[in-house]
Amino acid sequence: MWPLVAALLLGSWCCGSAQLLLSKVKSVEFTGCNETVIIPCFVLNVEAQSTKEMFVKWKLNRTYIFIYDGNVNNSTVDSNFSSAKISVVDLLKGDASLKMDKRDAVVGNYTCEVTELIREGKTVVELKYRMGKYTKCLASSSWFSPNEKILIVIFPVLAILLFWGKFGILTLKYKSARTNKRIILLLIAGLVLTVIVIVGAILFIPGEYPVKNASGLGLIVISTGILILLQYNVFMTAFGMTSFTIAILITQVLGYVLAVVGLCLCIMACEPVHGPLLISDLGVIALAELLGLVYMKFVGNSVYEQKPRNYH
């Protein structure tokens, strides 16, 4: 008893405290991108010369999940946290951080308890999970800035308006008994696409609701593929294929493929680098619509009028 009291008094007299000072980190986050998860715990005033003097215990809520006994240099690990470990060689530097594979990581309050002979200290760190890998790009405004969100919606909307422009020209200039059925099909498909993109925009723009926003973006990007079919059918109904319309369609297909790739990269990537790719590809799709409209308005006419003359 007396030696202990003496040691305590001596401890607090010589070192200011019989307590171990532990780093105070309130919480750490992990995402789908973290292969391993590290819950930090640093002793700021280690004095031990050997890990034999150290004892480290980690608990989650009230259950001990990891115990390192320096005296026998052995760790005991809860079966639910089989990958959990500390780095024994770093212990003398004060590092008692718990490392585990993502598969074992569960959110909650982890308590790190370190004992060095008679000195001890503990700290609580909350481990949080942040929606990352699969929804960050799709969902949060932290991934797409408000401006980017607007561009992502504006380009498809613009493309659809341009489609309706072409549709107008088609009905005014190229209407005939032969084309009526096609025009009705184009009208229906155009309306369906318009509704899908409006629904997509309503889901995508407001707030930070990962699933809603993600489905919205998915709807918008995937449905722009319908524009290619529409553009093809508009050309076929009006004047058939020319090398210029083929070039326009190829541009549009490329824009679409890259937009879908951009969408997938956004979903899978861990860093916000693919937003601009997605946006510029949606821009290319809109540009192809614009070229289609210009071609129909100014050039297509003459092609159409020349053809019958050639056959006479």
Ligand X SMILES: *[C@@H]1O[C@H](CO)[C@@H](O)[C@H](O)[C@H]1NC(C)=O
78 binds ligand X (CB under 6 A): yes
Q: Which two tokens stand for residue 118?
A: 């008679």
In sequence order, the 6+-apart residues with CB closer than 8 A to the CB of 304 are 173, 174, 238, 239
* Residue 78 or 95 having the CB closest to ligand X: 78
**Residue selected from 25, 38, 157, 199 as contacting ligand X according to rule CB under 6 A:** 38
Q: What six digits make up the tokens of 156? A: 């498809």
> Contact with ligand X (CB under 6 A): which of 7, 21, 25, 107?
107
Q: Which residues pair with 82 in a beta bridge?
A: none
Amino acid at 168: G
Judged by CB, which is closer to ligand X: 51, or 135?
51
What mask, x for binding ligand X by CB under 6 A, covers residues 255 to 284? ------------------------------
In angstroms, the CA 125 to CA 59 distance is: 10
Q: Which is nearer to ligand X, 106 or 264 (CB)?
A: 106
Nearer to ligand X, 73 or 180 (CB): 73
* Shortest Å, Cβ 46 to ligand X: 15
90 binds ligand X (CB under 6 A): no
Which class for 122: exposed (0-12), middle (13-18), buried (19 or more C-beta within 10 A)?
A: middle
In the complex, minimum distance from the CB of residue 112 to ligand X, in angstroms, rounded to a whole number: 14
Q: Which of 12, 109, 145, 306 binds ligand X (CB under 6 A)?
A: 109
**Does residue 67 touch ligand X according to CB under 6 A?**
no
* Helix/strand/coil percent split, the chain, to 5: 55, 20, 25
Closest residue by Cα to residue 137 from 249, 234, 274, 300: 274
Residues 124-183 close enough to bind ligand X by CB under 6 A: 126
Cα separation, 263 vs 261, whole angstroms: 5
The stretch near ligand X (CB under 6 A) out of 13-21, 26-34, 147-155, 221-229 is 26-34
Q: Is 249 in the site for ligand X (CB under 6 A)?
A: no
Strand order in the sheet with 27-30: 27-30, 119-129, 108-116, 54-60, 63-69, 74-77
Residues at the contact surface with ligand X, assessed by CB under 6 A: 28-30, 34, 37-38, 51, 60-61, 63, 72-74, 76, 78, 80, 88, 106-109, 126
